[in-house]
Amino acid sequence: MSDQIARYKSDRDAFGHMLFDHFKGEEALEIIEREDGFIDPNDGCKVYFSEFKDWRPWEQEALRNLLPGRVLDLGCGAGRMELYLQSQGFEVVGIDNSPLAIEVCHRRGVKDARLLPVTRVSSELGIFANILMMGNNWGLMANRQRARWLLGRFYGMTSFPAHIIATSNDVYNSDSPYHLAYQAHNRERGRMTGQIRMRVRYQMHRTPWYDYLMVSRDEMKEILEATGWCVKQFIDSPGAMYVAVIEKEK
């Protein structure tokens, strides 16, 4: 194996390479690989670059729940949220653990995009009135324990009032035998039904394996109990995805 091929195979920023190639005008196909071997190829890369007018209606409605004040976008990707919110006069900080995603954000005009994993957020970033977890990014919670730990972090770095606006996918809304079998296997192992072990692949690149948490509305409410946060409103979509507007309690 040549040194160049070895370098590409060892590069773990598959998500960033996909975004960067799309930004350059090249065809870019995202592949999600689940630990049981299930493969989900999709051409949804363009969504990461979409403008507000092209967003899904429930996403547009969700942002109407933003409070005055600073916004923190977790898993900012190519910066679609940042660019829109900047145009609306918000001060917004985007974070992502993909170096090339942050590079794409900067090249597209995002004012404040930082290379930072969600587990490193703290009040050192400042105080925020809004935390965004859009694009199914409630999944960054990973599991019940980390979710409750992160909610504590969020409480300490937000003003009052404050909102978390998050999208998730209700995995129980599925009749796929592949998904149902995996969900049953999760429960057998003591994991949450929608605790997905997955990675992103793109060309020769692949991310490390990571957990991504998808929950029902009732499961989200259960996770939020005694954290200082509660659901204010659910916004439904025609399918399994939904938005939760979560408000800070005194």
User: Using an 8 Å Cβ cutoff, are 222 and 197 in contact?
Assistant: no
Residue 44: the pLDDT is 75
Q: If you average pLDDT over every residue of the chain, what do you get? A: 95
Strand partners, 245: 165, 233
The answer to whether 116 and 134 are in contact (CB under 8 A) is no
* Residues 81-117 pLDDT 10s: 999 999 999 999 999 999 999 999 999 999 999 999 9
Q: What is the pLDDT of residue 5?
A: 46
Beta bridge partners of 158: 128
Q: Are strands 229-236 and 205-206 parallel, antiparallel or unpaired?
A: unpaired
* pLDDT in the model for residue 8: 55
pLDDT of residue 119: 97
Domain that holds residue 76: 3-248
pLDDT category of residue 1 using cuts at 50, 70 and 90: very low
Q: Rounded to 10 degrees, what is the CA torsion of 65, 170, 151, 160?
A: 20
CA 210 centroid distance within chain: 13
Take residue 68 and report the two structure tokens written for it.
């005055």
Residue 237 structure tokens:
């979509």
Q: How many CB atoms lie within 10 A of CB 168?
A: 25
Q: Please name the residues in contact with 37: beta carbons below 8 A apart, sequence gap of 6 or more.
A: none
Amino acid at 96: D
> Quick one: pLDDT at residue 91?
98
**pLDDT by residue (tens digit) across 182-229?**
999 999 999 999 999 999 999 999 999 999 999 999 999 999 999 999
Residue 96, SS3 per DSSP: strand
How many domains, in total, are found in the chain? 1
- The CATH number covering residue 104 comes to 3.40.50.150
Q: Please state the pTM of the whole predicted model.
A: 0.95
User: How many CB atoms are located within 10 Å of the residue 178 CB?
Assistant: 13
